[in-house]
Homo-oligomer: A and B are copies of this chain.
Amino acid sequence: MKRIADSTVRRLSIYLRFLEEFEGRGLATVSSDELARRGGTTSAQVRKDLSFFGSFGKRGLGYSVPELATALREILGLGREWRVVIVGAGKIGAALAQYRGFKQRGFTIVAAYDTNPDKVGGRLDGIEIRDIARLERDVAADHPDIAVLAIPAEGAQAVLDRLVYAGIKAVLNFAPMSLHAPSDVTVKTVNMAMELEGLSFALTNRE
């Protein structure tokens, strides 16, 4: 398959969110223009994004809401359950563990890991907190699909290396750090510090 831009995938997520809202309201069809207005983009962009994957609309009419929603779920790989482990049972890990958006979209948290002996054996919103020493063994045995890194910057690269070695192919990183991984491993970093500095820059440099 042709390489798809990151920005395109992100917009597909947005479109899907609106389509689900429309599904809930029982709307039958939607136009690229309507999706664009909601998502803060253009109708041409919407059509181009979809065109990478096929033709989902009817000329003169628009898109069938349920059909397009189904197609997008298929494209985004949301038809199946993804098994997620959270590494780090601190505040961020805890916030993630109880985040309802996970389950809702087919992401099941199967375990959490921490170094702190006081936390190990406890639970995070019902999820077992295990000793991080077991990380490799568990990953090799359970084959989770995605790991979420919710640990301080210092240890992040080392834990990522261990996860990669154990066979993990997708990582969501909350440590404020650039991480390096082989090209067959996808790493997405969410960095609050960076976003705040972006706001600081915007506030400082406007005419």
Contact = CB atoms under 8 A, between A and B. Distances in A.
Interface stretch (A56-64, A93-101, A134-142, A158-166): A93-101
Interface stretch (A22-30, A43-51, A113-121, A180-188): A180-188
Copies of the polypeptide in the assembly = 2
A98 B105 contact: no
Size category, A interface: 35 or more
A172 B190 CA distance: 13
Contact of A105 (B9, B178, B196, B205): B196
A39 interface: yes
Contacts of A40: 178, 180
A75 interface: yes
A204 B77 contact: yes
B178 A39 contact: yes
Given A14-B178, A76-B197, A186 B202 contact: yes
A110 interface: no
Contact of A198 (B6, B39, B95, B96): B6
Interface in A144-202: 145-146, 169-172, 176-178, 180, 184, 186, 188, 190-202
A202 B169 CA distance: 9
Interface string A83-125: 0000000011011101101100111000000000000000000
Nearest to A94: B91
Interface of A: 1, 4, 6, 9-10, 12-14, 16-17, 38-40, 75-78, 82, 91-92, 94-96, 98-99, 101-102, 105-107, 145-146, 169-172, 176-178, 180, 184, 186, 188, 190-207
